[in-house]
């Protein structure tokens, strides 16, 4: 058994370095609010919905989806992303069909 002694400043630096190392190895994590609703970054929200960032922004501009700013960073509630894109996510081309034809 080895016993080491550190003053509080040394221990604080060791812990900070360990946390930084874990974060850099594993990447950022998804933020969860106090009420348990998961918050997503723009990229995560677009990936979840299967759309590009521009389409996500268009849903915000159309008032279909709300964006939340936390410290200047845009976040989306996972449940709201699913709701906003549920029609397009589960439609799978049923109903309206779009086709492009060349005009002569």
Residue 56 belongs to some domain of the structure: yes
Contact predicate 16/24, CB 8 Å? no
Structural domain boundaries, residue 56: 28-89
pLDDT band at 30 (very low <50, low <70, confident <90, very high): low
Question: Would 33 be classed as within a structural domain?
Answer: yes
Local confidence band at 72 (pLDDT 50, 70, 90 cut-offs):
confident
Asked if 68 and 77 touch (Cβ cutoff 8 Å), the reply is yes
55 belongs to a structural domain: yes
Tell me if 99 is assigned to some domain.
no
In terms of pLDDT, which residue wins out, 93 or 43?
A: 43
Asked if the model's pLDDT at residue 52 lies above 50, the reply is yes
Q: Work out how many domains the chain is built from and give that number.
A: 1
Summary mean pLDDT of the chain: 78
- Provide the pLDDT for residue 35: 56
Residue 45 has which token pair? Answer: 């929200």
Q: Is residue 84 part of a domain?
A: yes
CATH number at residue 67: 1.10.1660
Question: Does the pTM of the predicted model rise above 0.75?
Answer: no
Does any domain span residue 59?
Answer: yes
């Amino acid at each position: 058994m080895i016993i080491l002694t550190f003053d509080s400043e040394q221990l604080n630096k060791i812990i900070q370095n360990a946390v930084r190392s874990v974060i850099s190895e594993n990447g950022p994590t998804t933020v969860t609010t106090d009420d348990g609703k998961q918050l997503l970054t723009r990229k995560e929200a677009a990936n979840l919905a299967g759309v590009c960032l521009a389409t996500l922004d268009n849903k915000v501009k159309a008032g279909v989806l709300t964006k939340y700013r936390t410290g200047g960073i845009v976040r989306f509630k996972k449940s709201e992303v699913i709701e906003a894109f549920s029609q397009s996510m589960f439609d799978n081309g049923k109903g309206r069909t779009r086709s492009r034809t060349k005009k002569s």
